[in-house]
Chains A and B, each alone.
Chain A
Amino acid sequence: MQHVLFANMISDTALDFGVDWPHLIAQIVSFSIVAFLLHRFAYKPILLVLAERRQRIQESLDKAAQIQAELARTEAARQEALNQANAQANKLIEEARAAAARVLEQETQKAVAAANEIIAKASEASEAELARMKLELRREVGRLVVETTAKVTGKILTVDDHQRLIEETNRELAA
């Protein structure tokens, strides 16, 4: 009895609200079609695209991180190479300076030696010139003394006289 009452109540309520099996089934089918087509044309492709995009972004981030790390490594290597090059350059500069100093010293020594040699040669030449001039002077003075003596005395001087006068003059000049 209660079952019948309950069933009647449900039936009356359904009738009041216009619920009947054909329309209910039609709406179930309509909603199912919408759900299927939206799943097919909207959710599935969009979720796939979103997942792919997420994966691509993740890959890009990973690559960016890798590139960053690589860049940091390259930077460190560059810095290291730069430091090594600096050290090498400094060493080379030091060596060059030392070599230059050595060369300078050697060249200075050579120049000093050359200068000394030149001075010595010049000195020798000067002395030789002086000696030659002295010798020439003696001869000239000797000749003048002989000529003067010959003119003053009016005497024709012999070779021996010439020789003696010249020697005497040379002795006096040397003194």
Chain B
Amino acid sequence: MTKRRLSLYCASLLWLGLAWAGWAAETPSGGGGHAAAGLPQSAVGLGREGGFITNSMVVTWMVAAGLIVLARAATRQLKAVPDGLQNFWEWLVESLYEFLEGIIGAELAKKTFWFFATVFIFILFTNWFGLIPGVGTIGWGTPDSEGHLHHISRPLLRGGNADMNMTLAMALIFFACWVVWALQANGPGGFFLHIFGPKGETAGMLKVLMVVVFFAVGLLEVVSILFRPVSLSFRLYGNIFAGENMLESMARLVPALGWLIPIPFYFLEVLVGLVQALVFMLLTAVFTLLICTHEEGHEKAHA
């Protein structure tokens, strides 16, 4: 009963995330036809000539440093009766562990928790950090002929997940881990059979037909698997980048009310930040579960 409820919960969250992604994709961004007025599509370097360190990398490092410092502070002297920061981290880790355990099972959760927990926590806090006033709005720009600065073209800080390098990095790390976990769970032969092997009990000519069909399905599956890093990274990047653009557009919609209009959208972005972190974690968890789950027919093959 609990597994079914969790599956429904996951499906709802996925639907919510995908729906939001679709809505965000259809909604014209703040830049709209004025690409120059919106946020730059990619992170920019912080030096005079650009430089290697980008504004999104700075945010990434700030969030990473903050998380590590907080984690270290919380676990430096662990108490039997937790309080304060330790209580918060225990709540976070335990809730995430139980949540993941309910989805992917105890054995897989034990092995893969470090990745999914980091993905969720890091994406969540990076997304929320990007909502702090000043991120994306303090930086350098080109003033107009009267000397007024209307647009920041090189913000000092930029949401970490509004940089494709970050989202793609996480997706690629997941892909590498996924391959390792899949090989550990199935072995090379089992991994191949899992993708290309025929499902169900058939015999005779039907079996031959099924082998051909499932081989073709396996090819499609391989394409789908190879595109997962792309879809994962673009989904997260698109949502966060669109959100930042929307906030900037709302702030510029009525200049006199620039402090008021974005407020409801800030709340929306807080929700989006959470949903996207959940979607990324759940999708990666479900992909891992799918490849590591042994089916009836394959059990025999693996044996």
Contacts and interface: CB of A to CB of B under 8 A. Distances in A.
Interface string B51-74: 010100100110010011001101
Contact of B93 (A20, A24, A46): A46
Nearest to B122: A34
B93 A43 contact: yes
A123 to B, nearest CB: 97
Contact of A17 (B90, B115, B164, B172): B164
19 contacts: A16-B42, A19-B168, A23-B57, A23-B163, A23-B165, A24-B165, A26-B52, A27-B163, A27-B170, A35-B118, A37-B71, A38-B71, A38-B118, A41-B72, A42-B89, A43-B114, A46-B89, A46-B93, A47-B93
* Contact-residue bracket for chain A: 20 to 34
A49 B78 contact: yes
A35 B114 contact: yes
Interface string A8-21: 00000010111110
A19 B75 contact: no
* Contact-residue bracket for chain B: 35 or more
Given A18-B165, A34-B122, A41 B71 contact: yes
Contacts of B93: 42-43, 46-47, 50
A28 B75 contact: no
A18 B163 contact: yes
Given A27-B60, A31-B170, A17 B42 contact: yes
B193 interface: no
A22 interface: yes
B57 A30 contact: yes
B57 A45 contact: no
A18 B42 contact: yes
B75 A45 contact: yes
Interface of B: 41-43, 52, 54, 57, 60-61, 64, 67-68, 71-72, 74-75, 78, 80, 89-90, 93-94, 97, 113-115, 117-118, 121-122, 163-166, 168-170, 172-173, 237
A102 interface: no
A44 to B, nearest CB: 8
3 pairs of A and B residues whose beta carbons are closest in the complex: A18-B42, A27-B169, A42-B71
Contacts of B114: 35, 38-39, 43
A163 interface: no
Given A37-B68, A50-B94, A43 B80 contact: no
Given A27-B57, A30-B57, A42-B75, A18 B90 contact: no
B128 to A, nearest CB: 16
Contacts of B57: 23, 26-27, 30
Given A16-B41, A27-B168, A38-B114, 17 more contacts: A16-B42, A19-B168, A20-B165, A23-B43, A23-B52, A26-B57, A30-B64, A31-B173, A32-B173, A38-B67, A38-B117, A41-B72, A43-B113, A46-B90, A46-B93, A46-B94, A50-B94
Interface of A: 14, 16-20, 22-24, 26-28, 30-35, 37-39, 41-43, 45-47, 49-50, 53, 56
A33 B165 contact: no
A28 B42 contact: no
Q: Which of B54, B115, B118, B165 has the most CB of A within 10 A?
A: B165
Nearest to A20: B165
A28 B164 contact: no
Given A34-B118, A34-B122, A41 B68 contact: yes
B158 to A, nearest CB: 11
Nearest to A39: B114
Contacts of B75: 41-42, 45-46
A164 to B, nearest CB: 131
A45 B75 CA distance: 7
Contacts of B42: 16-19
